[in-house]
Amino acid sequence: MNNGKNSTENFDVIVTGGGPAGSTVASFIAMEGNKVLLLEREKFPRHQIGESLLPATINGICVMLGVSEELAKANFTYKLGGTYRWGRHPEPWSFTFGPSSMIPGSQAFAYQVERMKFDHILLNNARRKGVDVREQHTVTEVLEEGGRVVGVSFNDDQGQKKTAKARYVIDASGNTTTLSRTVGERIYSKFFQNVALFCYFKDGKRLPPPYSGNILSEAFSEGWCWYIPLSSELTSVGAVVAREHADRLKAGPEAAMQHFLNSTVMVKDFLSSATRIIEGPYGQYRIRKDYSYCNTRFWAPGALLIGDAACFVDPVFSSGVHLATYSALLAARSVNSCLRGEIGEERSFNEFEERYRREFSNFYQFLVAFYDMDKDMDSYFWSARKVLNTEERANDAFIRLVSGTSFTGEPLFSNAAEFFQAHVGVGDLFRTAYEEAANPIDDRNFDISKFDIAKFNPKDFIRDFRRGIVGLIRQAQTGTHRREAPVFDGGLISSSNGLSWMEPAEGDAAAGD
């Protein structure tokens, strides 16, 4: 390694950002024997939001990373599903991840995590996998040569300017990314433009067993609240409101949060004997703009965007860490394949983008349907988000974008107006399914008679939504690969260890992942 003041270091891959996306992609690439540099601008452990996880991360990605035992020892809260006070029905309803024929009971769980601890576990694991992890190193410039990204300039932890080059640069630095402008353009959804105000409480109440570890999401007149039990004492509480209601923050976060909490029923009761934490890393109010967005491209020659650097969707279904780590796995497969010279860059990176865009689109469509369950017809927040009363119908560019038609592949839906028309009322359909069965994809709970299934079939939609997640969990648990069909016509399939792409067998037709 060169250590001169103006020297340039060389790697196979440079990853910017050490959160779940960055540490995961760096680990999976290093596990294939490649030389990886990870640059993280902060010093871990550090605070981060996005504390409620999904089974695909815990029982899929984390198993493949080899951190399952360490996570179990961390005593994170065991999460069986989610509980909602949402829609026109006053009583709360819950869903579970299983057990079902698709997800056995032993894998039908996730964790509520303190991200300071969870992210630190993943970053330290990257070090153990051989990644050169450097904290408090800030990327200042993306280096390009001949239309290709070839490296970065950065300031090290002593403030010295350094340069590193690599075959590939992967941006996992989150929503503040600068590399995304090199790759494409960020487009914002008109449907999800919310602001989140959050803080932490001690000694809040819990739901009765077996749902005591569930995230509780409660809708109120101006938005919705999350209530996440991070430990027996610590609770994360946030209010998500439309930007039109953000003016309440002018009175200060304390007054604004009190107003939002007073608008709830369950969350207000659960906090009746709790105390807000006012010291340490959990001792302040924080604000985040939860504006959903998607980049026009997820890759360019020499560069890939993963996690929030590529796209972000409303957090009501706890999809953040899942999308981050899933996109990291897809990107690692592409980079590993290219570094070995087995598959061309364009074909390999197209596979990454199409699959990641498809997963993001599934969550986006699901959330549009979920927000169709208005809490209060007289409330501006909810009436404005009734699917047929929003500008989203005309937001054709974003619809085409999230479905992948701005780049390659066939659209998941071709006409925005038809898509939203087809989805009206599907939110209540999902609620009914969740209330009546532990397994939300049980066909018996779907009455599709009112839907034009040529435009939208809820059963197919939910199956597609979960098929890739289930396949990932199965592969991680068994350590072997069950031969799959490509997701797209002419597409690739994952290798036996899940860390690269391979060609499908001749004659294999595209099917669900």
Bridge partners (DSSP) listed for residue 132: 37
Q: What's the N-to-C CA distance of the chain in angstroms? A: 41
Least confident range of 130-134, 167-171, 311-315, 380-384: 380-384
Which of 17, 19, 126, 108 lies closest to 58 in space, CA to CA?
A: 108
User: According to the model, what pLDDT value does residue 444 have?
Assistant: 47
Q: For the segment 241-262, what is each residue's pLDDT rounded down to a tens digit? A: 887 777 888 889 999 999 999 9
Measured torsion, CA atoms of residues 173, 311, 497, 149, in degrees rounded to the nearest 10: -60
Tens-digit pLDDT profile for residues 421-442? 444 444 444 444 444 433 444 4
14: helix, strand or coil: strand
Average pLDDT of the chain, as a whole number: 80
- Max Cα-Cα span within the chain: 70
Classify 345 as helix, strand or coil: helix
**Which is more confidently placed, 300 or 414?**
300
Query: Residue 457 burial (CB < 10 Å; 0-12/13-18/19+)?
Result: middle
**Residue 271 neighbours by CB distance under 10 Å:** 20
Q: What is the pLDDT averaged over residues 91-120?
A: 79
The phi-psi region of residue 499 (left if phi > 0; otherwise alpha if psi is between -120 and 50; otherwise beta) is alpha
What's the mean pLDDT in 360-374? 69
* E strand or H helix that includes residue 111: strand 110-112
127 pLDDT band, cuts 50/70/90, is: very high
Q: What is the pLDDT of residue 357?
A: 87
3-class DSSP assignment, residue 406:
coil
Mean pLDDT of 285-292: 83
When comparing pLDDT for 397 and 373, which is higher?
373
Alpha helical stretches, state H, 31-75: 55-56, 62-65, 68-73
